Amino acid sequence: MKEKVILAYSGGLDTTAIIPWLKENYDYDVVCVCINVGQGNELDGLEERAKLSGATKLYVENVVDEFVDDYVIPCVQANAVYENKYLLGTSMARPVIAKKLVEIARLESAVAICHGATGKGNDQVRFELGIKALAPDLKIIAPWRCNDTWKMQSREDEIQYCKEHGIDLPFSADNSYSRDRNLWHISHEGLELEDPAIEPNYDHLLVLSVSPQEAPNEGEYVTMTFENGIPISLNGEKMKASTIIEKLNELGGKHGIGIIDIVENRVVGMKSRGVYETPGGTILMEAHTQLEELILDRATLTVKKEMANKFADIVYEGKWFTPLREAVQAFIESTQQYVTGEVKFKLYKGNIIKAGTTSPYSLYSESLASFTTGELYDHHDAEGFINLFGLSLKVRAMKMAELSKNN
């Protein structure tokens, strides 16, 4: 019996061309594994395509709920955003994919895992750190880094290679955007986006959304409830988190929410430009933030913002299966004990507009915040506080004045 390799399989041209390449260069039986993290109709026809391409078996694993509950929700609770804009859509999905690839590798007694990520991107780092953390004994094959045997440099090359190996599938040779899609988002790279000086062609590019200009002229109100930092209902209807995101995607896409154009710093050292559509995720993150500001005290919120940036870096860099991620997530979860309540907002032409927030754990006190004198706050107390709070400033100013006078 031949040894087996697990191929992270999407059904696209790249991973289809990898199947005969693996058989030719490694003499492996190729077991294709497609991980369903909510990429929709991209999964259609995969089984027939994989077998026509020479795979011995295909697994299609639906992990949408695991992806949302175990990877997305912790990022929402953290308010994790990379470089102020990117909501980590691709980054969050890679560790659950790596985990499932390892599980099936064990099930099939495979000796290697192969992925189709390029040698310039972040995904090679994320996949391989996940595999190394969970299965350090498995060999990892990255064809795009195998310069001696992977000679294909274009879609035309890959189509020709497939035809030479008896695979004649209806792939297009046109140079379209490079996209990654899951339930949380869709990313776009390539074509005009490679030049930061050029405006994105949104009419041609958008998949989940319309542009804010094309959104309805009437706003739409949305109400969400959270329990311990986890969304549990939308517009009064209880549902699981993955369904909430699915429905928020429809609402957000309709109103042009969550379209960002960013030049980000990749893990491998280069800058890259991409456009991300995250309609439902943007709404969910904003709603959670809106609730937290009512509940968390100042000191906790300050440290949590620092941990949010740290968590975002950890996820972006593919370090999910690390003690650091576990430790930071433990802190974040401890802050979510009382993040329970209802958030209302209006969606309008790319904007999420607050329309009221309530929580049984709100630290907001109307009597304290109002300009009238309440029982808990005596205006005269502020004088002593300011004297002590500003004491170091005053002492320094006095010293500088004394030195200036002496000189």
Q: Which residues are annotated as a binding site for L-aspartate?
A: 118, 122-123
Q: Which two tokens stand for residue 376?
A: 């808990």
Residues in binding site for L-citrulline:
86, 91, 122, 126, 178, 187, 264, 276
Q: How is residue 349 written in tokens?
A: 């032409």
Query: Who contacts 106 (Cβ-Cβ below 8 Å, separation ≥6)?
Result: 135
End-to-end CA distance of the chain: 90
- Residue 94 catalytic? yes
Check if 123 is active-site. Answer: yes
Mark the binding-site residues, compressed into ranges: 8-16, 86, 91, 116, 118, 122-123, 126, 178, 187, 264, 276
CA 224, distance to chain mean position in Å, is: 21
- Token output for 138: 């498995």
Binding site for ATP, by residue number, is: 8-16, 116
CA distance 118 to 76: 28
Q: How far, in Å, CA of 267 to CA of 126, rounded?
A: 10
Q: Out of 65, 69, 70, 178, which one is annotated catalytic?
A: 178
Question: Per the residue annotation, which of 29, 49, 123, 209 is the catalytic one?
Answer: 123
Place of tokens 């074509």: 191
List, edge to edge, every strand of the sheet that includes 4-8. 57-62, 29-36, 4-8, 112-114, 139-141
Beta partners for residue 357, in sequence order: 343
- Give the active site residue among 29, 49, 53, 94: 94
Using CA atoms, how far apart are residues 8 and 127, in angstroms rounded to an integer?
Answer: 10
Q: Which residues are designated catalytic?
A: 14, 94, 123, 178
